[in-house]
């Protein structure tokens, strides 16, 4: 049985193969009685001969080329050869003689040989390649012009030539639905259906066309095709495939179509909007076109390779999008089929190699250059913040009375130590909470004389000495001798969990008021836990935190300074109460003897205890291919011992240390960088410390900064960022003796700004400062005064007014940054000041540059305008010149493809000799010239197409048309094909009333099945987890759907949408079972069915079920169903009602309630939305 069927089937098929195609063949041969060179012969020669006898001069065999008239002539009619030569070679049976040679694997078919023979016999006329001459419009005869459009004239002419019969006009519903879908990507709504079916006159049709062209949906629909072509996506496309913020460009495209921006401007602004300052931000957004290529930041990438790839990608895209040529074939060698040499290619690429930004994307959403595209609300808020920051900054730099007073006191203390008042406290009382015995000694120090409790709090009360502006409490922990340890515990260590300082006098009804300590310093702190001095002033009494003094490790005394706002001692007889809390888990970790004093200046310590700073040295800048390796790679002696005369070999260059006296603390310095590249600079400073101690390093850069101390990385902050001088505080744990401090500054791009300073009583003042302050303020000069002020304020000042001001500014900056993170950015083009040198890359290899080339365009496509600049603006001028052979042809062909399903040139991405010749060469040229001469007016062009008779013809497929013109290239019938993915989804949402009609904005994420991103994404990628949006966002048009290029939305990609990783000029239209499953079962398609069911109940009116069916059917197809169709649906409806009535649980699962009517209607609507007629146009 099986065999029987099999053989029958084969026999049947054989019959088909051997009979039917014959008739097709005959029909076609008859249609093409005269063999046309460009239509028939050139494609054969191109495909079978040009690879060896074509434009590629390096690989040309026998010095013969068949792509030029001269070359062809030489084998057709020359002294050595006659026409028979060609025919002999293609007919030869000798494998050594036959052309193409057998090893080429591309034999000519008998049909092709016949065609060549016919052509030769008919005189072998040779024509230039049709696409490389400027379009030349054949005039439409004047008597026809008045009532027939050019389109119909040429189409009709061809229909007659081919012996076809044209279909009658489409029915009103058919043309209405086609028109709405083609112009807006949405089906007609009820109002449009009612209106048009009521009056489908020509005038109404024209009026409808105008309305649709004015609808904002026009731009959304037309923009979408463009976005496929230019490979717009919401991620970078390679490796991590992180988010890329570019949607303002998408909105620009939509807007351009809606405002009917003339197509030459549309091209120009995208290519060179950055060079048209009059356009402002709009032009910059458009220039983002040049940034749409996929990019990477993969860890090991070699910068030059990525750079070369980006330039090649942009150049190829330019070729596909505007020229309709596969210029990319000339990356490695001269083009095999079209006359584009490798030199031409790289000359063209030179227009696209000078981006003032890095080739790697940094895995950020906004790799430079970018602009921010703020809403007006955001703009004004930012301006407000900026103003505040400016004000704060000014305030910070200007006079502040209280702070300046403090500065004067400080200056005084510098010039005359005698002016610094330090007063030891003589306690009135001392008390131990654990009842230990304490003793007050003569010098005011307090000594523990009994055994210590495991935990304790020592309370010391003393009179505040006379004087003004006390602001530092100095705690000295004393030892009996240099060898003895500072603590009473067996190991000699101490942990002070907290210190509190209060002022008051309860005896005089002045309660104790806590004085907040703003800053504390210790000469020695332990680093092996939460033991730094700051833990003793943090207000918490945690038993595992506090100032631990390493007493068990090193003998000798300890010092701490606690700084607070200057005390207001107007009140007399005030007392100070100091409590030392020893609440540590470590028992008896208490000082043996302490002494307290007050000072009216910031802490300072004796010269013998001071740290000596060495001069600053720099090595570099070292060029790096991207910031990442700069962070990872080791430069100079970074992190190792320093040798002033050491030399470093890096990338075949020698680097040495240079001394920089000018790199002084506090001031802002601009560090050297490498033009056009990222770079790393290493700075070195030596710190000599008399003992182990902590100092605070303050720094601020607009770059990445890594700091190494004595071979250890102590800080790693990635850039780039805005310079905020001295905003970063790094604790340096100095050892006794020499300390090597290295800064590695990683410059991402642009200039490199750097500030640094130290905060520590042990760090001496910069040389000359003391002399400086001795000079009376009036004589110092204003710059010096302001530098001094800055120095004081940043390094020493702890005045509460100052701190408050800093906090305010910091807070405002934070708020601004948070807002800025919300403002959309978009990638733009910005040209480097000087164009980069461009080279031919030998065999396309990034590391094998050949001859240098200048920016230029291929000669065979017309001359570069002599007055045009050699930049993208000039390139656009060249491209949009009337004489350019391709731009207008390529553009109108793609619009034709959008409307009619297939381009006049089917291979809309390739107008070269390997592409297909146009089905209607005259029409193509006529359209191109018409488009150019009418100011590249897109809406006018589209209107002409959709108002043509050709467009308005019925799409019925008759057996005759199917046989003679299976692909409908000659358009004797109207276009009919499956709708694109986006239209299918939008249509379902629209028909069901779910579509949210909102234009523009960030891309949205409608639901998709779980795990699709995670299944492929790099774990560190910011698009590895998909989180669907909520609310209205999920019902937006598909043009706004978030496009992750390495995992595009399945609802789109399953229906032939491209990944947007490369340029796509046309989509395939496949028909698969997976698509059926999608349209039947996907969440939103089902939701649409449910909502459509609701809509039917609500909107069809109070009519019979049968009429509801008719209403629903008409809503989705624009036509009323036949009786047979209505009955088929009715029977499904009735059966389903019955079924769901019997299975209430199932019913509830489907519609959430026990309502068989709703369930049955949902099933009916699911059916309607899956009709072939609805899925197709």
Partner 1 sequence: MNESQINQRMIHPELLASSMNELTRRSLFSKSAAGLGAAALATLEHRYTASASNSGHSPPLPHHNAKAQRAIYLFMSGAPSQMDLWDPKPNLTDWFDKDLPDSIRQGQRLTTMTSGQARFPIAPSIYQFSPHGQQGTMVSELLPHLAKQVDQIALVRSMYTEAINHDPAITYICTGDQLPGKASLGSWLSYGLGTENENLPAFMVMTASWTGRQQAQALYNRLWGSGFLPSKYQGVALRSRGDKVLFLSNPKGIDTTARRRMLDTLGSLNQLNLEQVGDPEINARIAQYEMAFRMQTSVPELADLTDEPQHVLDLYGPEVLVPGTFANSCIMARRMAERGVRFTQIFHRGWDQHGTLPKDLPKQCSDVDQPSAGLLRDLKQRGMLDDTLVVWGGEFGRTAYCQGNLTKTNYGRDHHPKCFSIWMAGGGVNGGVVHGETDDFSYNITKDPVHIHDLNATILHLLGIDHRRFTYPFQGLDQRLTGVEPARVVHELIG
Footprint on residues 1074-1103 left by partner 1 (CB under 8 A): 1074-1078, 1080-1083, 1086
Stretch in the footprint of partner 1 (CB under 8 A) among 580-588, 665-673, 689-697, 976-984: 976-984
Positive or negative: CA dihedral 1069, 1074, 1079, 1085: negative
* Phi, psi (degrees; rounded to nearest 5) at 181: -65, -40
Query: Shortest gap between Cβ of 905 and partner 1 (angstroms)?
Result: 12
Binding-site size, partner 1 (CB under 8 A):
137
Identified binder of partner 1 from the candidate list 286, 565, 971, 1054, rule CB under 8 A: 1054
Please, what's the b/e burial string for 891-920 (b: 16 or more CB within 10 A of its CB; e: otherwise)? bbbbbbbbbbbbbbbbbbbbbbbbbbbbbb
Examine residue 344 and say whether the peptide bond preceding it is cis (omega within 30 degrees of 0).
no
For residue 391, give Cα distances in angstroms to 397, 799, 802, 964, 1112: 10, 19, 14, 79, 65
Identified binder of partner 1 from the candidate list 445, 628, 638, 673, rule CB under 8 A: 628
> Considering the rule CB under 8 A, would residue 912 count as an interface residue with partner 1?
yes
CA distance 234 to 227: 11
> Considering the rule CB under 8 A, would residue 17 count as an interface residue with partner 1?
yes
Q: Site map for partner 1, 196-235, x if CB under 8 A?
A: ----------------------------------------
Query: Shortest gap between Cβ of 81 and partner 1 (angstroms)?
Result: 27
CA distance 212 to 196: 13
CA distance 814 to 740: 34
Strand, coil or helix: what is 449? Answer: coil
> Considering the rule CB under 8 A, would residue 629 count as an interface residue with partner 1?
yes
> Considering the rule CB under 8 A, would residue 654 count as an interface residue with partner 1?
no
- CB closer to partner 1 out of 138 and 956: 956
- CB closer to partner 1 out of 97 and 963: 963
> Considering the rule CB under 8 A, would residue 102 count as an interface residue with partner 1?
no
**What does DSSP assign to residue 37?**
I
Query: Shortest gap between Cβ of 901 and partner 1 (angstroms)?
Result: 12
- CB closer to partner 1 out of 569 and 1053: 1053
Please, what is the angle between helix 216-229 and helix 172-184, to 10°? 60
Q: Which of 790, 471, 747, 472 is nearest to 622 (CA)?
A: 747
Q: Which of 1153, 490, 404 is nearest to 801 (CA)?
A: 404
Query: Shortest gap between Cβ of 305 and partner 1 (angstroms)?
Result: 9
Residues 300-319 that bind partner 1 (CB under 8 A): 300-303, 309, 313
CA distance 687 to 610: 10
CA distance 564 to 79: 106
Residues 829-888 that bind partner 1 (CB under 8 A): 847
- CB closer to partner 1 out of 597 and 1166: 1166
Query: Shortest gap between Cβ of 749 and partner 1 (angstroms)?
Result: 17
Residues 409-448 that bind partner 1 (CB under 8 A): none
Residues 335-394 that bind partner 1 (CB under 8 A): 337-338
Cβ-in-10-Å burial (0-12, 13-18, 19+) of 1019 comes to exposed
CA distance 200 to 192: 11
Contact 1090, 1103 (CB under 8 A): no
For residue 178, give Cα distances in angstroms to 911, 940, 1089, 1120: 28, 18, 22, 16
Within 992-1082, residue ranges assigned H as helices are: 1012-1016, 1050-1053, 1073-1081
- CB closer to partner 1 out of 101 and 629: 629
CA distance 1027 to 119: 63
- CB closer to partner 1 out of 592 and 1158: 1158
If DSSP states are collapsed to H, E and C, what string results for 659-713? EECCCCCCCCEEECCCCCCEEEEEEEEEEEECCCEEEEEEEEECCEEEEEECCEE
Query: Shortest gap between Cβ of 516 and partner 1 (angstroms)?
Result: 45
Within 491-556, residue ranges assigned H as helices are: none
- CB closer to partner 1 out of 752 and 968: 968
Stretch in the footprint of partner 1 (CB under 8 A) among 177-185, 547-555, 587-595, 1041-1049: 1041-1049
Query: Shortest gap between Cβ of 347 and partner 1 (angstroms)?
Result: 20
Identified binder of partner 1 from the candidate list 123, 511, 1020, 1101, rule CB under 8 A: 1020
Residues 130-149 that bind partner 1 (CB under 8 A): none
Residues 1132-1161 that bind partner 1 (CB under 8 A): 1132, 1135-1136, 1139, 1146-1151, 1159
Query: Shortest gap between Cβ of 720 and partner 1 (angstroms)?
Result: 19
Within 135-280, residue ranges assigned H as helices are: 142-145, 150-161, 172-184, 190-198, 202-214, 216-229, 247-258, 263-272
Query: Shortest gap between Cβ of 268 and partner 1 (angstroms)?
Result: 26
> Considering the rule CB under 8 A, would residue 11 count as an interface residue with partner 1?
no
Query: Shortest gap between Cβ of 989 and partner 1 (angstroms)?
Result: 17
The three-point CA angle 887-892-896 to 5° equals: 150
> Considering the rule CB under 8 A, would residue 1050 count as an interface residue with partner 1?
yes
Query: Shortest gap between Cβ of 1174 and partner 1 (angstroms)?
Result: 10
> Considering the rule CB under 8 A, would residue 644 count as an interface residue with partner 1?
no
**What does DSSP assign to residue 179?**
H
Query: Shortest gap between Cβ of 1100 and partner 1 (angstroms)?
Result: 19
Residues 467-496 that bind partner 1 (CB under 8 A): none
- CB closer to partner 1 out of 697 and 983: 983
Stretch in the footprint of partner 1 (CB under 8 A) among 14-22, 79-87, 715-723, 826-834: 14-22
> Considering the rule CB under 8 A, would residue 181 count as an interface residue with partner 1?
no
Stretch in the footprint of partner 1 (CB under 8 A) among 345-353, 495-503, 735-743, 1008-1016: 1008-1016
Residues 256-275 that bind partner 1 (CB under 8 A): none
Residues 913-972 that bind partner 1 (CB under 8 A): 913-916, 955-959, 962-963, 966-967
> Considering the rule CB under 8 A, would residue 592 count as an interface residue with partner 1?
no
Task: Return all residues near 449 (Cβ < 8 A) that are at least 6 apart.
Answer: 437, 438, 439
Query: Shortest gap between Cβ of 424 and partner 1 (angstroms)?
Result: 54
Query: Shortest gap between Cβ of 98 and partner 1 (angstroms)?
Result: 15
């Amino acid at each position: 049985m099986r065999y029987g069927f099999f053989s029958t089937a084969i026999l049947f098929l054989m019959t088909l193969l051997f009979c039917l195609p014959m008739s097709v063949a005959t029909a076609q041969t008859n249609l093409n009685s005269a063999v046309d060179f460009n239509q028939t012969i050139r494609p054969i020669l191109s495909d079978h001969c040009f690879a060896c006898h074509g434009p590629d001069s390096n690989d040309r065999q026998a010095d013969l080329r068949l792509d030029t008239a001269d070359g062809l002539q030489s084998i057709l009619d020359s002294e050595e050869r006659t026409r028979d030569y060609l025919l002999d070679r293609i007919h030869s049976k000798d494998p050594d003689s036959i052309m193409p040679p057998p090893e080429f694997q591309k034999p000519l078919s008998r049909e092709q040989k016949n065609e060549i023979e016919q052509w030769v016999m008919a005189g072998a006329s040779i024509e230039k390649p049709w696409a490389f001459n400027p379009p030349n419009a054949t005039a439409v005869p004047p008597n026809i012009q008045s009532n027939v459009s050019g389109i119909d004239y040429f189409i009709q002419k061809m229909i007659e030539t081919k012996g076809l019969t044209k279909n009658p006009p489409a029915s009103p519903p058919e043309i209405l639905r086609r028109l709405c879908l083609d112009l807006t990507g949405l089906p007609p709504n009820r109002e449009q259906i009612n209106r048009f079916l009521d009056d489908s006159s020509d005038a109404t049709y024209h009026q409808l066309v105008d309305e649709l062209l004015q609808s904002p949906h026009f731009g959304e629909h037309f923009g979408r095709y463009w976005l496929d072509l230019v490979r717009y996506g919401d991620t970078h496309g390679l490796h991590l495939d992180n988010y890329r913020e570019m949607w303002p460009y998408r909105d620009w495209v939509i807007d351009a179509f809606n405002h009917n921006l003339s197509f030459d401007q549309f091209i120009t602004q995208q290519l060179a909007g950055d060079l048209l300052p009059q356009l402002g931000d709009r032009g910059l957004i458009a220039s983002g076109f040049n940034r749409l290529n996929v990019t990477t930041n993969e860890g090991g990438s070699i910068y030059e390779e990525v750079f070369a790839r980006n330039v090649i990608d942009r150049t190829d895209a330019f070729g596909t999008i505007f020229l309709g040529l596969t210029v990319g074939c000339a990356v490695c060698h001269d083009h095999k089929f079209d006359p584009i040499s490798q030199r031409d290619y790289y000359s063209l690429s030179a227009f696209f190699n000078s981006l003032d930004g890095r080739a790697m994307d940094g895995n950020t959403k906004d790799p430079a250059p970018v602009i921010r595209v703020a809403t007006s609300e955001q703009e004004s808020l930012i301006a407000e913040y900026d103003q505040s920051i400016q004000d704060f900054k000014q305030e910070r730099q200007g006079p502040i009375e209280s702070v300046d007073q403090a500065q004067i006191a400080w200056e005084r203390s510098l010039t005359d130590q005698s002016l610094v008042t330090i007063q030891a406290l003589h306690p009135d009382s001392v008390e131990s909470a654990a009842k230990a015995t304490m003793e007050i000694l003569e010098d005011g120090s307090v000594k523990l004389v009994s055994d210590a409790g495991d935990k304790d709090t020592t309370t010391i009360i003393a009179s505040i000495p006379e004087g003004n502006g006390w602001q530092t409490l100095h705690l000295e922990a004393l030892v009996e001798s240099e060898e003895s340890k500072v603590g009473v515990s067996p190991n000699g260590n101490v942990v002070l969990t907290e210190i509190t300082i209060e002022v008051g006098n309860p005896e005089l009804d002045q309660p104790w008021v806590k004085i907040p300590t703003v800053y504390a310093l210790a000469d020695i702190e332990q680093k092996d836990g939460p033991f730094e001095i700051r833990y003793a002033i943090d207000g918490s009494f945690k038993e595992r935190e506090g100032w631990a003094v390493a007493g068990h490790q090193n003998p000798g005394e300890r010092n701490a300074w606690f700084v607070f706002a200057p005390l207001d001692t107007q009140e007399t007889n005030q007392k100070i109460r100091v409590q030392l809390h020893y609440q540590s888990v470590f028992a008896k970790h208490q000082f043996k003897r302490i002494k307290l004093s007050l000072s009216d200046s910031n802490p300072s310590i004796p010269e013998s205890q001071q740290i000596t700073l060495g001069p600053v040295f720099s090595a570099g800048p070292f060029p790096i291919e991207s910031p990442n390796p700069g962070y990872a790679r080791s430069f100079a002696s970074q992190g190792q011992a320093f040798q002033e005369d050491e030399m470093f070999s890096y990338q075949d260059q020698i680097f040495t240390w240079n001394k920089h006296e000018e790199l002084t603390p506090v001031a802002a310095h601009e560090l050297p960088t490498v033009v056009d590249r990222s770079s790393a600079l290493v700075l070195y400073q030596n710190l000599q410390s008399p003992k182990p101690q902590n100092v605070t390093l303050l720094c601020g850069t607009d770059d990445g900064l890594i700091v190494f101390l004595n071979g250890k990385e102590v800080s790693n902050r990635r850039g780039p960022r805005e310079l905020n001088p001295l905003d970063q505080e790094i604790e340096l744990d100095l050892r006794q003796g020499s300390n090597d401090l290295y800064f590695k500054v990683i410059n991402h791009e642009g200039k490199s700004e750097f500030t640094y300073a130290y905060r520590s009583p042990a760090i001496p003042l910069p040389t000359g400062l003391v002399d400086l302050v001795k000079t009376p303020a009036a004589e110092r000069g204003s710059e010096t005064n302001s530098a001094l002020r800055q120095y004081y304020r940043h390094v020493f000042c702890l005045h509460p007014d100052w701190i408050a001001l800093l906090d305010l500014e910091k807070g405002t900056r934070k708020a601004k940054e948070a807002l800025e993170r919300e403002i959309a950015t978009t990638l733009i083009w910005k040209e480097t000041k000087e164009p980069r040198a461009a080279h031919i890359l030998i065999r396309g290899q990034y590391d094998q540059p050949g001859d240098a080339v200048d920016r230029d365009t291929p000669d065979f496509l017309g001359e570069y305008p002599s007055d045009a600049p050699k930049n993208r603006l000039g390139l656009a001028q060249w491209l949009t010149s009337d004489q350019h052979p391709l731009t207008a042809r390529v553009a109108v062909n793609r619009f034709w493809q959008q409307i009619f399903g297939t381009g006049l040139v089917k291979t809309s991405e390739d107008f070269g000799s390997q592409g297909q010749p146009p089905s209607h060469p005259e029409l193509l040229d006529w359209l191109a010239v018409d488009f150019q001469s009418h100011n590249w007016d897109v809406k006018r062009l589209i209107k002409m197409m959709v108002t043509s008779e050709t467009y308005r013809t019925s799409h019925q497929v008759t057996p005759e048309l199917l046989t003679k013109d299976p692909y409908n290239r000659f358009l004797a019938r109207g276009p009919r094909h499956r709708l694109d993915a986006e239209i299918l989804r939008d249509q379902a949402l629209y028909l069901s009333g779910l579509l949210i009609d909102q234009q523009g904005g960030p891309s949205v994420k409608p639901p998709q099945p779980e795990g699709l991103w995670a299944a492929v994404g790099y774990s560190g990628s910011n698009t590895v987890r998909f989180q669907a949006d909520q609310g209205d966002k999920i019902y937006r048009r598909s043009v706004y759907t978030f496009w992750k290029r390495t995992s595009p939305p399945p609802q789109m990609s399953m229906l032939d949408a491209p990944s947007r990783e490369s340029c796509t000029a046309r989509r395939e239209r496949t028909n698969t079972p997976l698509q059926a499953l999608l349209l039947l079962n996907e969440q939103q398609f089902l939701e649409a069915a449910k909502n459509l069911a609701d809509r039917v109940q609500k909107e069809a009116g109070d009519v019979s079920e049968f009429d509801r069916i008719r209403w629903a059917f008409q809503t989705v197809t624009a036509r009323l169903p036949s009786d047979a169709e209505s009955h088929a649906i009715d029977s499904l409806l009735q059966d389903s009602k019955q079924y769901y009535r019997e299975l209430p649980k199932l019913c509830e699962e489907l519609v959430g309630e026990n309502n068989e009517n709703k369930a049955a209607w949902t099933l009916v609507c699911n059916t309607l939305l899956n009709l072939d007629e609805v899925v197709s146009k």
